[in-house]
Amino acid sequence: MSAIETLYKTKIAPALQDKKIETLIFTELTKMVSASYTSNMASDESFCFKFNLPLIAVNNFYKILNLNPVEVNLSFKSDWGSTLTAMHTDPYYQILLLLIYHGIITKKENITKNALMVLLLKIWNGRKSHFFKYCDKRVMKYVISRMLTNRHILSKYENPVTLLQDYFVPTLLSKYAPEIHQDIFKLKRLFEQSYARIFQLFIFNPRTNLQTGKQEAQGGLLPIYMKAREEGLYITTQGQKQQDDENVSGYEDFATTHNRDEIVDKTTDFMVMNKVLYPINIITEINRKTNVSVKIIEKILAALNEHKNIEIIQNLLVLILSRCNVTSVTDICKGNFSTLIQKNVISSKNNDEANKIQRLLDVLLERIFKEKLDINFNNYSVVHKIKIRNVIIFAIEHNLFRVNCRGN
């Protein structure tokens, strides 16, 4: 049993069996959501709005449940690993994640929805403050009303509170609540996807500007806002809203990021939750491309699909799809995907994403070689290491095609 699950069953569940305590927590969550809704609806700041966070009220849940934040944090670290970000170890998020779990397990839908909503408020504030330290509401209103295509998700909602409450809460729970009910480790994925999807509202598909050398977003709210500000456009400016022109530069459909999320989730789940058998022709092909021995390839592939590798595999998929600019399943299934892998992943050097891919592969291979082969991966030459890394890249390419193009 996981440390978080043990904590829940031994301390949180017994406390919440007292209906007075459970009702108190539900009432407090409802007040927080109601206050955020009322304040945002009364504001004219559009998507420049920043919520007043109920920090004290959320942290008070620890007292109500007689929980020690340090003990809770240790439980999360035990399950999620010791090298976590500040967000992972934030007591505000941790107590809300526990309440989300309680709501899912006990089928208390309102507790689940309200706890997730309060969690999303803080994520929104953090991303809004990071990308829009100085946000001109006149420019923002112009962007939302006149520069977004009708298919853009932000064009469908009036303000952040309705976006979070009516879109993010139901879509996230629809995807991840059933998984969390079966496996508490999926709570981490819900949390990280909550962050990733709000992050992608503001910026996605970053690319290096060859002239300036700086990373610039190709899509998301930030580049559109900056374009409007540079051109002096704001709500009193006359202008025409863009129609459904799919080729307008910088207005990439937000659904792109969700398509990619679906590909990552589906492929990751297939790889780590099934006993994946690699056909002999695939092993032979990888041997031909890498010149790594068949015996080593078989050992690597057998160890690759273990559940403990889930985070590394998920991160590798995200990076590889980003490097190949995959926006839908069609990009994987069409004939040039192998060429994109070769050009943008295997042959690509000295950029942030390629370097991250290499570091992740090295962590994974060091573990596989130590546990399965009793060999120190770092004893290999630089050239041989590259060949061995490519074994995993080709295996991931095979799984991407197998899962998304031919079925399981």
The per-residue pLDDT of the chain, averaged, comes to 86
Distance CA 120, CA 117 (A): 5
Give pLDDT, residue 259: 67
In the predicted structure, residue 253 carries a pLDDT above the cut 50: no
**238-243 average pLDDT score:** 43
| pLDDT, position 390 | 94
Q: What is the mean pLDDT of residues 166-179?
A: 94
Q: What average pLDDT does the segment 120-144 reach?
A: 90
Phi, psi of 76 (to 5 degrees): -65, -40
Q: So what's the pLDDT on residue 207? A: 58
Q: What percent of the chain has pLDDT over 90?
A: 51
Please tell me the predicted confidence (pLDDT) of residue 181: 94
Q: Is the pLDDT of residue 254 over 70?
A: no
CA atoms of 311 and 172, how far apart (whole Å): 19
Highest mean pLDDT range out of 108-122, 130-144, 254-268? Answer: 108-122
In the predicted structure, residue 266 carries a pLDDT above the cut 80: yes
State what percent of residues in the chain have pLDDT above 70: 89
The yes-or-no verdict on residue 237 having pLDDT over 80 is no
**Other C-beta atoms lying within 10 Å of the C-beta of residue 340:** 18
Position 239 pLDDT exceeds 60: no
What value does the mean pLDDT take over residues 160-188? 94
| pLDDT level of residue 249 (50, 70, 90 thresholds) | very low
Confidence band, pLDDT 50/70/90 cuts, at residue 258: low
- The tokens for 120 are 């999303």
Mean pLDDT, residues 318-322 taken together: 86
Angle at the Cα of 56 from the Cα atoms of 54 and 59, rounded to 5 degrees: 105
For residues 385-408, one letter each, b for 16 or more C-beta atoms within 10 angstroms of the residue's C-beta and e for the rest, the string is beebbbbbbbbbbbbbebbbeeee
Residue tagged 């042959």 (tokens): 347
Q: Residue 10: pLDDT band by 50, 70, 90 thresholds? A: very high
pLDDT of 206 strictly over 90: no
- Does the pLDDT at position 102 exceed 50? yes
Across residues 161-181, what is the average pLDDT? 94
What was the pLDDT predicted at 351?
Answer: 76
How confident is the model over 59-75, as pLDDT tens digits?
999 999 999 999 999 99
Question: Can you tell me the distance from the alpha carbon of 236 to that of 234, in angstroms, rounded to the nearest whole number?
Answer: 6
